[in-house]
Amino acid sequence: MIYIKSYARVEEDWSGLIRALQFLYRSSNACVRTNGAYTDWFDIRIDVGQRNSRPALGQRDGLMIRAPQSIYTDIYPVSSLLNFLDEGTRQLNSEPPDQPVLLREYDFIIVGAGTAGCVVANRLTEMPDWKVLLIEAGQTENYVMDIPLIANYLQFTDANWRYRTKPSEKYCAGFENGRCHWPRGKVMGGSSVLNYMIYTRGAPDDYNNWKAMGNEGWGWDDVLPYFKKIENFNIPKFNNTDYHGYDGYLNIEHAPYRTSKSKAWIKAAQEYGFTYGDYNGENPSGVSYLQVSMKNGTRHSSNRAYLHPIRGRKNLHIAKASFVTKLIFDNSNTQVIGVELERRNIKYKILAKKDVILSAGAINTPQLLMLSGIGPRDHLESLNIPVIQNLQVGYNLMDHIAAGGVQYFVIPQNTSIRTDYILSHLDIVFKWMRTHKGPLSIPGGCEALIFLNLEDKFNPKSWPDLELLFISGGLNTDPMLRRNFGFDEQIFTRTYGPLGNLDLFMVFPMLMRPKSKGRIILRSRNPKVHPELIPNYFEYPEDLQKIVEGIKVSMALARQPSLQKLGTKMYDVPIQECLERGPFGSDEYFACQAQMFTFTIYHQSGTCKMGPISDPTAVVDPRLRVHGISGLRIVDASIIPEIPSSHTNAPVYMIGERAPTSSKKIGVIHDVVD
Ligand SMILES: Cc1cc2nc3c(=O)[nH]c(=O)nc-3n(C[C@H](O)[C@H](O)[C@H](O)COP(=O)(O)OP(=O)(O)OC[C@H]3O[C@@H](n4cnc5c(N)ncnc54)[C@H](O)[C@@H]3O)c2cc1C
């Protein structure tokens, strides 16, 4: 017999009892599985509150249930927890270990085990003769990081670099000190461990534009095979071998749970005129549930997808918690021959026979280049850094942003992703632990999106300049959410305090092709001092206006019958500071809202722009070699010449897959060494 304390009070009626019996019955299988022993008798206790009645005995398929005065069910939570711990342990054991002793020299050194770095490490070590060192500043990924709904919590851990932008009054003005929070992953898997798992590729026009900028080999027809190569596509409804891959490392699926709100929103979008479809297929625009980089309802990071399966490769060494501080050049200062790094307070110099590959992301890669003397001459000289190569490093900083706080309330629905709701319905947690289904499988609350071109809204073939991202909760979903973005406490309490327990959804109207570009500069020669991040959002007024138009489209959706059935209304407690600009609902008011609560979508990119030698703003050539320097390549979000109309993780995977292969062949690594 097993007696375990109950986790939840069952209601005071027989339906509660029946549910408890069903519950227990379902649990028995899990119990058998996790304990490895069959137990067919359980004493269960149902709390019937005041009534103190004695439920009847029940028997079902060999499962005998005795119901004395008090019942403690709870095989279910325990088996769920055991299942979770078991999976977690297996995951930890699957990650390639830290290399205790590093060699003096490798064929390749990769800096950064993020989205791109893991791909490159995998593909390079396919060649058994090449010894590869992958260096990561962060630590091991753990299984808690794989629970989709709590993605935002990871930003409060050491797995985040915790960047902040330079203060501004033009954007993020409603956040503490006018600074935007820019989290970046510092962990095995990099930002693919912190991200919201939304998997979008962008439109053919995005990549044809890259090619038109002089980047031979990066047009849509060139990159599509690499997008397919990434994928193990698991959405049967959209099966199409012209667009999808089925034997790649990264699993793509739909989240296994949908809220009633997202269903209504999707329907409303169709009522309004949008077409439902596969935005990673033939038509980039329209409405859809999110395709996500998850495997069986859990995060599938680049670490899990690309490194776990190759744990046994002897030619891959990984140095975790190791921070690269500088590049090492040969005597002529024209070739990179290695890196300096710090690991457990000891400094090392490691050499690379062939290439050093920077995959440290759009902030750290330019920082490392500039610290090493590759960057804008005047800027480096101002910090007394000897200039090795004068290149426009740190310019062309791009991001996707949305107006925060666009919220709609509905009549209360049956279930909610609010943290307090989940904590009082722990069955939701146990369910996810055991089956990876239910609300916890929604990545950070994000469920659906619309890609649209404002001038040709309903045309599924159009090149999107706007996205509406649907989130099935509001700013009251989680008490930490305000801290993720860094809301000014007073402004938040005044504006969003009245949200209380309202049942809400949010829409992020997101600018997809911003004209405004920012810059990253060094603040110090010390590699541990964060660089100055100047996003320059809204330098061009049309960027702001597009977001305002996006808010208006979201309002039009709220008026459609399917959302009206839920009693949808826009939350309209105004931001006091914005009433000076115009009444609530005016373009001026909404523009102010976007400037107060400027939500980054975390797509920082472009700071080591790819372009031909004829482009004075380019840092790497189309084969990702740093202009004028041999032995050095960049493979990460920083090479993006123009941000695609897409979330950036899939494009970065594509860059990783595309990089170590030739421009013509797939899966053959041969042009890295030249
Ligand atoms: C909170 C958040 C949510 C996001 N949500 C989504 C989403 O839902 N969908 C989407 O498509 N995109 C999303 N993104 C963006 C996407 O994850 C990134 O564009 C992508 O991961 C960038 O990959 P990368 O390889 O360029 O850099 P990263 O993945 O950031 O990897 C860089 C790695 O280098 C390491 N590193 C840096 N400097 C050094 C050094 N000096 N020495 C050693 N190691 C170093 C870092 O620790 C990190 O592990 C999100 C990002 C964040 C942060």
Token duo for residue 236? 């049967």
Q: How far is the CA of 111 from the centre of ligand 1 (A)?
A: 13
Q: What long-range pairs does 84-93 form, CB within 8 A, spacing at least 24?
A: 84/143, 84/433, 84/434, 86/34, 87/143, 88/142, 88/143, 88/144, 91/141, 91/142, 91/143, 91/146, 91/304, 91/308, 92/140, 92/142, 92/143
Question: Domain range for residue 56?
Answer: 14-94
Assess whether the C-beta atom of 153 lies below 6 angstroms from ligand 1: no
Assess whether the C-beta atom of 115 lies below 6 angstroms from ligand 1: yes
Q: For residue 185, give the DSSP letter.
A: B
Distance CA 439, CA 309 (A): 28
Q: Give the number of other Cβ atoms within 10 Å of residue 256's Cβ.
A: 16
**Nearest residue CA, atom 1 of ligand 1?**
195
Binding positions for FAD are 187, 324
Q: How far is the CA of 361 from the centre of ligand 1 (A)?
A: 6
Q: What is the pLDDT of residues 254-302, one digit of tens each?
A: 999 999 999 999 999 999 999 999 999 999 999 999 999 999 999 999 9
Distance CA 136, CA 159 (A): 11
Residue 674 has a pLDDT of: 33
Our count of domains for the chain comes to 2
Within a domain: 658: no
Residue 86 has a pLDDT of: 87
Within a domain: 341: no
Distance CA 635, CA 365 (A): 9
Assess whether the C-beta atom of 635 lies below 6 angstroms from ligand 1: no
Q: How far is the CA of 137 from the centre of ligand 1 (A)?
A: 12
SS3 415: coil
Assess whether the C-beta atom of 360 lies below 6 angstroms from ligand 1: yes
Q: pTM of the full predicted structure? A: 0.89
Catalytic residues: 603, 647
DSSP 285-312: -EEEEPEESEETTEE--HIIIIIGGGTT
Tokens 């021959």, residue located: 337
Assess whether the C-beta atom of 197 lies below 6 angstroms from ligand 1: yes
Q: How far is the CA of 504 from the centre of ligand 1 (A)?
A: 30
Ligand 1 atom nearest to 649, measured from its CA: 11
**Nearest residue CA, atom 46 of ligand 1?**
186
Assess whether the C-beta atom of 118 lies below 6 angstroms from ligand 1: no
Token duo for residue 227? 């997008």
Distance CA 542, CA 533 (A): 22
Within a domain: 394: no
Within a domain: 623: no
- Compute CA 440 distance to the chain's CA centroid, rounded to the nearest angstrom: 16
| E-strand stretches of 393-531 | 401-403, 407-410, 446-452, 466-471, 503-511, 519-521
From residue 482, how far is each of 162, 193, 280, 377, 488 by CA, in Å?
15, 21, 32, 40, 8
Within a domain: 271: yes
Q: How far is the CA of 191 from the centre of ligand 1 (A)?
A: 3
Q: Report the first-to-last Cα separation within the chain, whole angstroms.
A: 69
Within a domain: 567: yes
SS3 558: helix
Test site for ligand 1: of 181, 191, 320, most ligand atoms within 8 A of the Cβ = 191
Looking at the structure, tell me whether residues 28 and 175 fall in a common domain.
no
Looking at the structure, tell me whether residues 438 and 523 fall in a common domain.
yes
Tokens 């090619």, residue located: 211
- Compute CA 174 distance to the chain's CA centroid, rounded to the nearest angstrom: 24
Ligand 1 atom nearest to 200, measured from its CA: 11
Within a domain: 475: yes
**Nearest residue CA, atom 53 of ligand 1?**
184
Ligand 1 atom nearest to 446, measured from its CA: 8
Looking at the structure, tell me whether residues 155 and 83 fall in a common domain.
no
Longest dimension (CA), the chain: 88
Looking at the structure, tell me whether residues 408 and 522 fall in a common domain.
yes
Looking at the structure, tell me whether residues 267 and 413 fall in a common domain.
yes
Ligand 1 atom nearest to 647, measured from its CA: 11
Q: Give the number of other Cβ atoms within 10 Å of residue 171's Cβ.
A: 25
Ligand 1 atom nearest to 605, measured from its CA: 19
Looking at the structure, tell me whether residues 260 and 173 fall in a common domain.
yes
Total residues found in the chain within this entry: 674
Assess whether the C-beta atom of 112 lies below 6 angstroms from ligand 1: yes
Assess whether the C-beta atom of 372 lies below 6 angstroms from ligand 1: no
End-of-domain residue from the set 50, 78, 94? 94
Assess whether the C-beta atom of 636 lies below 6 angstroms from ligand 1: yes
End-of-domain residue from the set 583, 601, 619? 601
Residues 117, 136 contacting (CB under 8 angstroms)? yes
Which run of H or of E encompasses 272? helix 260-272
Test site for ligand 1: of 649, 654, 657, 658, most ligand atoms within 8 A of the Cβ = 649
Assess whether the C-beta atom of 291 lies below 6 angstroms from ligand 1: no
Looking at the structure, tell me whether residues 504 and 582 fall in a common domain.
yes
Assess whether the C-beta atom of 604 lies below 6 angstroms from ligand 1: no
Looking at the structure, tell me whether residues 20 and 157 fall in a common domain.
no
Q: How far is the CA of 196 from the centre of ligand 1 (A)?
A: 12
**Nearest residue CA, atom 12 of ligand 1?**
649
Looking at the structure, tell me whether residues 567 and 475 fall in a common domain.
yes
Test site for ligand 1: of 602, 609, 639, 643, most ligand atoms within 8 A of the Cβ = 602
**Nearest residue CA, atom 41 of ligand 1?**
324
End-of-domain residue from the set 601, 630, 658? 601
Within a domain: 325: no
Spell out, as residue ranges, where the chain has pLDDT lower than 50: 1-18, 20-22, 24-75, 662-674
Q: How far is the CA of 306 from the centre of ligand 1 (A)?
A: 15
Q: How far is the CA of 539 from the centre of ligand 1 (A)?
A: 25
Per DSSP, what are the bridge partners of residue 66? 43
Assess whether the C-beta atom of 114 lies below 6 angstroms from ligand 1: yes
Q: How far is the CA of 667 from the centre of ligand 1 (A)?
A: 24
| E-strand stretches of 15-119 | 41-43, 58-60, 63-66, 105-111
Binding positions are 187, 324
From residue 376, how far is each of 20, 372, 381, 382 by CA, in Å?
67, 12, 9, 10
From residue 400, how far is each of 47, 598, 654 by CA, in Å?
51, 10, 19
Looking at the structure, tell me whether residues 40 and 170 fall in a common domain.
no
Looking at the structure, tell me whether residues 55 and 176 fall in a common domain.
no
Assess whether the C-beta atom of 652 lies below 6 angstroms from ligand 1: yes
Test site for ligand 1: of 195, 322, 323, 634, most ligand atoms within 8 A of the Cβ = 195
Assess whether the C-beta atom of 323 lies below 6 angstroms from ligand 1: yes
Q: How far is the CA of 640 from the centre of ligand 1 (A)?
A: 14
Domain CATH code at residue 161: 3.30.560.10
Looking at the structure, tell me whether residues 569 and 477 fall in a common domain.
yes
Burial 201-223 (b: 16+ CB within 10 A, else e): bbbbbbbbbbbebbbeebbbebb
Residues in Cβ contact with 622 at an 8 Å cutoff, skipping those fewer than 6 apart:
214, 215, 216, 217, 218, 610, 611, 612, 663
